[in-house]
Structure 1
């Protein structure tokens, strides 16, 4: 491995990368880099190619660039670095516009109704930042743009329980992951912690303190949650010293300030190496392999409303798939079932799960006000993961409606053992998820067991008008798709795809369905571990 990069060198690379991102935005470019690149042709070749710009992909791009490997990164979304007519890059949740939604004409917010009134809005069709991919009885939310899910998530950088992670990923050295790779990932992502004294007095976490009181009254334990949102910026937001973002109903459609998304951390540093180029609005459709071992990708070039402007074929020697659980799985499944990569393992497509996601709301008493201004970045969780019958980690989530609602909202993560799988549908040329409502019922049962106790201890009830009908628990969508190309099954222990050399998966597709907490820190740490071994053995070792 090359020598460790000093903090000053890394800071300089981030500065260069951020400058490249800003220049690309100012000029309306879809190719981003810090050094001149050859003009793209209908058939080109690059030594290494990364598909996607989410957590695993961003880690991989940076470490390849640091190692001196010329690397091309393809992203199907846009670069979110250009201000709209209102002076903002992203829109907020209360007044969504076309920037909110990927190629639809109506928003699809997870909380669909309030007091049975529809909260969604008609918007212009556009390559917006949040997509919902529907698969029958399960929908999956994903981020679209340079930075992937880091653009639209709640920034909760939670380390999973060591014992449970050892169960989930039995083939890895978990102690090494906690000793080396979680700290490395946390430092690169800019993980920080809320000031407990400020938390106790600020208005914007009143909603979290109400939930904490109710949890403690029930005998439950709560814990502060680390974040990649800058808590000092948030404190200054409340003081009126800086523009508001977390306190301005910004989260699922992007944050204009405060959040350390991947375009500001790993991806900026990757661009700053001078060896990495990102191309946006490039959708990888298919993979094939030539007799000499070159992987050839067919790539669709998109415009602002999703129309295909043309196609391009790009060859590479080393191919890294970081398109997320859905994207990476679909690319490999299509390649196997169409005969392009017939030696892929039968395990491709299996081991998928929702991370046990369940959303719910509770109606509080009139004296338990949750606040008209709420931080969109959660900072507290109810930790009942050690409950032997009903293990749950529940984020205390905001409802930033701009007015008092007396509602407590939670995204519960449960230990659901059910797994779905993908099949290839030739008629639509797509991967289709096989997941039933019955498979999600264990998650509802676990969440209900926990929050029934909370309601009994506090004399409260569930809200039944938040999800478009009268259900009290919503598990027909997930923010945390995991699995599909599981580590140690469809790949070896470092993400090398079985059946083919120099083909890798870097993202949440490696994690089998459930990790017990918000998964992006785990995905990042796992990617750091894997690319270190792959670089040493596959790219930097002389043949």
Structure 2
């Protein structure tokens, strides 16, 4: 059954006082304009021409947005560079594509779509909202937008269980500290909350209620999942006063009507409002290194909204924060070490990568009414520390693009301590690739979710005794490569490289520990920045 929420509700955040008002004033471009000055003004021109900053943050996802806010609040002159576009909220018309309405805005410079459940079709290469990298034996997905992965994730905001956290993370990161301070602080900033009962009881969430009922029949207890969806916007969809997005399962590539409360409505406007932070979108970092004067060099390729290259710019800074996401932080740092631009980087950089045990699973339920649509916000979750080979978390998911089929979907992650991969530099192509991932490294998680699904089917007569997992290994939660306590200290400082920090998912030890990564990434970044600001570096 769907039990009570034990994750803890949002608590007041002392840094949050102006976030709601700022986010309500308009798009980030408007806030940035207020900080930089009006278009055409001398102040704006001078600000836009600057290339040296005290601190530079690469990426505007969960780690980068936290870093930007905390640096800005500390009065540190900071630039955030983001490769992706800033996407507007346009309630009257679609902004993003979906599995049933393919557009060039969906993928980061791909010629053919590639996504679970989506047929491959040609698309025009463009700076779309999702990068899908076909690494050896593993597809890796990551966001490419102002707001990073928060634009394309499905809002689930949950913490890893204590048992998994304490087994995976260094002892110097006490779980009680995270549970008592950092997790609540992030939840408050993100305004995470469980799905309200009226939304849960609506037609688009019949699949959620069926999922909960089937697990209850198998004597499994589900709990509401904290989410960052804006329930007022979802209610407007249900009332037909907004075009549908979340209620028809269109969220993998963004919700253009504002149904998803991403970082452009929380951390980022608060960071820009400090007056100490600039944000430059469509700035794709091509390399990082260190100059003879000791400052860090960041070379970016400037892009137009249609993907045309507008030239390159070199920025310099004293403090460099890598928050480009696990895939791209590893690409940048491994290449910098092997090409001699950061030769002192630890040999451990690029190691300890994991796919977080990501698995999708489908069960066919031909006798159960599902309805014509499946809403995308996740209503419920359950965690099983034992019984399936690995500690397993399952979440109520949806069939994107196939909502009318009589079936329910489950998204699952595991707490796997064993299966890891390595990013290596290929001198022939001058590319960094995931070199040693095998299908067997994803197999233990697949077996765990299949065993779970089999048990649910056995408890629900009329279910077809067939389950389907991903056709090829896939992760939307890549983590590791710059593991905290190994490649960095416990506050993200890269060992042996003063002024260089990692604050994104690559800090995580190859597995979140039975949870989605967003809350843990942001909590680690909050803790890291508190220590860095207090110590002055």
Distance verdict in 2 for CA 1:537–1:475, change over 3 Å: farther
Residue 111 (str. 1) matches residue 117 (str. 2): yes
Give 1:209-358 correspondences, 5 Å limit.
209-256=209-256, 257-358=258-359
Query: 2:102 aligns to what?
Result: 96
Distance 2:45 2:527 in 1: 30
CA distances 1:255-310 after superposition (whole Å, capped 9, x unpaired): 02221101111111111111111111111111221233200112112233444332
Contact 1:15 1:272 in 2 (8 A): no
Query: 1:115 aligns to what?
Result: none
CA distances 1:162-202 after superposition (whole Å, capped 9, x unpaired): 22112221231221111111111001111012123552x31
Query: 1:486 aligns to what?
Result: 483
**Could you say what secondary structure the match of 1:374 adopts?**
coil
Contact 1:320 1:504 in 2 (8 A): yes
Give 1:173-212 correspondences, 5 Å limit.
173-196=174-197, 198-199=199-200, 201-212=201-212
Distance verdict in 2 for CA 1:248–1:197, change over 3 Å: closer
Residue 21 (str. 1) matches residue 22 (str. 2): no
Which of 100-109 and 338-347 deviates more? Answer: 100-109
**Could you say what secondary structure the match of 2:452 adopts?**
helix
Distance 1:100 1:520 in 2: 21
Distance 2:232 2:19 in 1: 22
Cα offset, 1:249, TM superposition: 3.4
CA distances 1:439-488 after superposition (whole Å, capped 9, x unpaired): 11111111121111112222433667xxxxxx644451101000000000
Give 1:347-386 correspondences, 5 Å limit.
347-365=348-366, 367-386=367-386
Cα offset, 1:233, TM superposition: 2.7
Distance 1:92 1:197 in 2: 26
Distance 2:388 2:369 in 1: 33
Distance verdict in 2 for CA 1:420–1:209, change over 3 Å: same
Distance 2:391 2:449 in 1: 8
Distance verdict in 2 for CA 1:462–1:519, change over 3 Å: farther
Contact 1:369 1:404 in 2 (8 A): no
Contact 1:462 1:472 in 2 (8 A): no
Query: 1:426 aligns to what?
Result: 427
Distance 2:382 2:464 in 1: 18
Cα offset, 1:524, TM superposition: 0.7
Distance 1:302 1:141 in 2: 21
Distance verdict in 2 for CA 1:10–1:79, change over 3 Å: closer
Distance verdict in 2 for CA 1:472–1:525, change over 3 Å: closer
**Could you say what secondary structure the match of 2:320 adopts?**
strand
**Could you say what secondary structure the match of 2:131 adopts?**
strand
Contact 2:19 2:269 in 1 (8 A): no
TM-score, normalised by the number of residues in structure 2:
0.90
Distance 1:110 1:456 in 2: 26
Contact 1:390 1:450 in 2 (8 A): no
Query: 1:467 aligns to what?
Result: none
Distance 2:148 2:28 in 1: 18
**Could you say what secondary structure the match of 1:314 adopts?**
strand
Contact 2:195 2:224 in 1 (8 A): yes
Distance 1:78 1:359 in 2: 29
CA distances 1:332-387 after superposition (whole Å, capped 9, x unpaired): 1111111111111111011110100111211113x212221221111112322343
Contact 1:172 1:493 in 2 (8 A): yes
Residue 524 (str. 1) matches residue 522 (str. 2): yes
Contact 2:20 2:266 in 1 (8 A): no
Distance 2:466 2:306 in 1: 37
Distance 1:61 1:517 in 2: 25
Contact 1:494 1:534 in 2 (8 A): yes
Residue 54 (str. 1) matches residue 61 (str. 2): yes
Distance 1:403 1:414 in 2: 26
Query: 2:457 aligns to what?
Result: 455
**Could you say what secondary structure the match of 2:100 adopts?**
coil
**Could you say what secondary structure the match of 1:359 adopts?**
strand
After the TM superposition, list the runs of 4 or more consecutive aligned residues in structure 1 that deviate by more than 6 angstroms.
Answer: none
TM-score, normalised by the number of residues in structure 1:
0.89
Query: 1:133 aligns to what?
Result: 133
Which of 498-507 and 281-290 deviates more? Answer: 281-290
Distance 2:114 2:246 in 1: 20
Contact 1:177 1:525 in 2 (8 A): yes
**Could you say what secondary structure the match of 1:458 adopts?**
coil
Cα offset, 1:399, TM superposition: 1.4
Distance verdict in 2 for CA 1:407–1:15, change over 3 Å: closer
Runs (5+) with no aligned partner, structure 2: 1-12
Distance 1:326 1:74 in 2: 16
Query: 1:468 aligns to what?
Result: none
Distance 1:450 1:524 in 2: 30
Query: 2:46 aligns to what?
Result: 38
Distance 1:24 1:83 in 2: 19
